[in-house]
Structures are given as C-alpha cells and as structure tokens.
Amino acid sequence: TQLLEQSPQFLSIQEGENLTVYCNSSSVFSSLQWYRQEPGEGPVLLVTVVTGGEVKKLKRLTFQFGDARKDSSLHITAAQTGDTGLYLCRGLREYGNKLVFGAGTILRVKS
C-alpha cells in the first residue's frame, strides 16, 4: 500500500486541454513536493508546498496543498506536448518524519 496515492496512473490528452492530477493520503504531511521526470532522466523538482491550503502557480501549472495537509493536486492549463512526462509527488509524513514518493502519473500530451 502506497502512503501517497497518485491518480490517475495514466493520462493521455490533446494539446490545449486542461488536466488535474492528484496525490492523496490518509496521513498528514508536513510538506509536499511535486517533481516531473522525462524519459531517460531523473526527476526534477517543480514546487514545494508547506502550508495547509497553500496554492502555488508556476506559469500554466497550479499546485494546491489540502487544508488538512493530506492531499495535493496539480492542475495544468492548456497542456503542451512539452508537459509530457511522469509527475511524482513526494511528502514528509508528519508522524515518524518519513519521506515517501507516490507511484506517479504518466501524462502524455498529443499534438
């Protein structure tokens, strides 16, 4: 059982569409990060959220940390083919100070 459940596992959309991917848990997290991984490369950090209810924007990407700090979402507006990749969330679980990764969401944006 994953401590951080990501959904959907796979998403294939057309360029220009909007999408949201989720990272959920039954545990409370002190903070959470989102990474993007492209084929043949290691993950690269996109954002860190630390406060419940926090919203951060990175161009067309909007990240939200749930009020209870048990979940997070990543929303992409007007997806581009360059957004294709594996999106991973990584969290620091408050209880036990454990760092965990979710299994990831594979996003494919078609032109």
Contact 101, 72 (CB under 8 A): no
Q: How far is the CB of 16 from another protein (least distance, A)?
A: 29
**Cβ atoms within 10 A of the Cβ of 21, count?**
22
Nearest to 47 by CA among 61, 60, 33, 62: 33
15 vs 38, beta carbon nearer another protein: 38
26 vs 111, beta carbon nearer another protein: 26
The CA distance from 83 to 23, in Å, is 18
The CA distance from 66 to 26, in Å, is 12
Residues in the site for another protein, rule: CB under 8 A? Answer: 2, 6, 9, 30-33, 40-45, 48, 50, 88, 90-92, 97, 99, 101-104
